[in-house]
């Protein structure tokens, strides 16, 4: 008898890598015969309360009330699989779920994703450590995060993020065009401004170059203003994009760029590999484990738009080398598919080592 799993995470209404991961895991677990209940940390409001979406504090209070009441459904599960980020998000979503699961006697698995883990565990320790000690298993996507948790005295097992490669059309870029793409959130640690600056530098050599930015966030207005100030053409903001639309955007692009300074194991890079996009990225978090510099992509220093532009130019000047990189990356991304992780999740749910 397969255990009944309650998976607690953000829904696609929020978007982002964790929501994508949650959706894939729910689908694959159900396909394997697991009874799975998905419990959104951002439940949809009843129609009579939807006006509160535009009231920041009111929205948060109502969301938390609806979420906390939904945790009673854990009574029907055997395992609570709880996705987790850092800081206030940890206190608002994983912490109540951990308490509810433990009070109901359920096996509790914390699935921690944030690249900010070290800072979170260091500076927020008194608000985090008591709850971490209550879970039976901590699962992280990367060796990078496992090392972080070990430094703080926790044993975590690694189960990589999953990408559904069947959703993406692998296409070899011949010829390789200067059509850049990035789908990271518009938050400070993703340094989208560095990508804009690098694009301006690239345009000097490739006036036909284009840049498509998919996403949203706290820096949305600033980045659009910055793009307008560059006075170069070819920059396109497409806003938040649903997972179903991402394969089409990837197929239209020729080079994936990332400039993050805080990261873990971004699903966006795995999707780029699956689509055949050569990757140029900063060496941040587990990205150094995902991208072998010069072999499956190119790595550049953080906060260095000139290096980012130079690396993109190097790919465009040597498309045969770029093609070899994408072929190797496409082969390696198979290690991030469901058949490679299903038994690890089964072991964690059963209380064995993954």
Show the beta-strand stretches assigned E in the chain.
5-9, 36-40, 79-84, 107-112, 137-140, 157-158, 179-182, 210-214, 235-239, 255-258, 279-282, 298-300
Instruction: Tell me, yes or no, whether 317 and 341 share the same domain.
Output: no
Can you give the pLDDT at residue 64?
87
Q: What is the pLDDT of residues 203-236, one digit of tens each?
A: 999 999 999 999 999 999 999 999 999 999 999 9
* Predicted model pTM: 0.93
Average pLDDT over residues 134-138: 97
Instruction: Tell me, yes or no, whether 185 and 117 share the same domain.
Output: no
Question: What's the number of domains the chain is made of?
Answer: 2
Cβ-defined contacts of 235-238 (< 8 Å, 24+): 235/196, 235/199, 235/210, 235/211, 236/210, 236/211, 236/212, 237/213, 238/212, 238/213, 238/214
Is the predicted pLDDT of residue 46 greater than 80, yes or no?
Answer: no
Instruction: Tell me, yes or no, whether 179 and 327 share the same domain.
Output: yes
Q: Using the structure block, give the residue that is written with the tokens 């979406």.
A: 53
Residues spanned by the domain of 177:
165-335
Nearest to 16 by CA among 89, 67, 91: 89
Assign residue 170 the CATH number of its domain: 3.40.50.2000
Instruction: Tell me, yes or no, whether 179 and 308 share the same domain.
Output: yes
Instruction: Tell me, yes or no, whether 344 and 331 share the same domain.
Output: no
Instruction: Tell me, yes or no, whether 169 and 306 share the same domain.
Output: yes
Query: Which H or E run includes 25?
Result: helix 17-31
Q: What is the pLDDT of residues 47-88, one digit of tens each?
A: 777 766 676 766 778 888 899 999 999 999 999 999 999 999
Is the predicted pLDDT of residue 354 greater than 60, yes or no?
Answer: no
Instruction: Tell me, yes or no, whether 83 and 220 share the same domain.
Output: no
Instruction: Tell me, yes or no, whether 235 and 110 share the same domain.
Output: no
pLDDT band of 43, cuts 50, 70, 90: confident
Instruction: Tell me, yes or no, whether 39 and 147 share the same domain.
Output: yes
- The pair phi, psi for residue 244, each rounded to 5°, is -70, -25
Can you give the pLDDT at residue 57?
66
Show the beta-strand stretches assigned E in 203-326.
210-214, 235-239, 255-258, 279-282, 298-300
Mean pLDDT rounded to a whole number for the chain: 94
pLDDT band of 353, cuts 50, 70, 90: low
């Amino acid at each position: 008898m397969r255990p009944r799993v309650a998976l607690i995470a953000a829904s696609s209404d929020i978007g982002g890598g964790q929501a994508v991961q949650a959706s894939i895991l729910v689908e694959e677990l159900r396909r394997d015969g697991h009874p799975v209940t998905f419990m959104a940390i951002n439940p949809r409001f009843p129609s009579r309360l939807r006006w509160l979406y535009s009231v920041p504090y009111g929205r948060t209070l109502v969301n938390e009330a609806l979420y906390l009441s939904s945790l009673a459904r854990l009574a029907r599960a055997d395992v609570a699989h709880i996705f987790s980020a850092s800081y206030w998000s940890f206190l608002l979503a994983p912490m109540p779920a951990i308490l509810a699961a433990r009070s109901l006697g359920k096996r509790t698995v914390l699935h921690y994703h944030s690249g900010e883990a070290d800072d979170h565990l260091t500076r927020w320790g008194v608000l985090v450590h008591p709850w971490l000690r209550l879970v039976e298993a901590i699962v992280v996507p990367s060796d990078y995060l496992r090392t972080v948790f070990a430094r703080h005295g926790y044993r975590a097992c690694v189960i990589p993020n999953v990408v559904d490669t069947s959703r993406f059309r692998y296409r070899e870029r011949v010829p390789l065009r200067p059509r850049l793409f990035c789908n990271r959130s518009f938050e400070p640690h993703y340094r989208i401004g560095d990508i804009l600056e690098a694009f301006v530098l690239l345009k000097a050599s490739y006036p036909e170059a284009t840049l498509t930015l998919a996403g949203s966030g706290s820096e949305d207005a600033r980045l659009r203003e910055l793009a307008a100030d560059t006075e170069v053409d070819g920059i396109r903001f497409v806003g938040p994009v649903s997972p179903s639309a991402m394969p089409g955007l990837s197929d239209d692009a020729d080079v994936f760029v990332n400039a993050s300074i805080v990261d873990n194991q971004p699903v966006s890079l795995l999707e780029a590999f699956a689509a055949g996009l050569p990757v140029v990225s900063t060496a941040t978090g587990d990205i150094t484990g995902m991208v072998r510099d010069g072999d499956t992509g190119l790595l550049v220093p953080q906060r260095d738009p000139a290096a980012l532009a130079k690396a993109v130019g190097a790919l465009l000047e040597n498309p045969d080398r770029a093609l070899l990189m994408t072929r190797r990356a496409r082969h390696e991304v198979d290690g991030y598919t469901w058949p490679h992780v299903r038994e690890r999740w089964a072991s964690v749910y059963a209380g064995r080592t993954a």
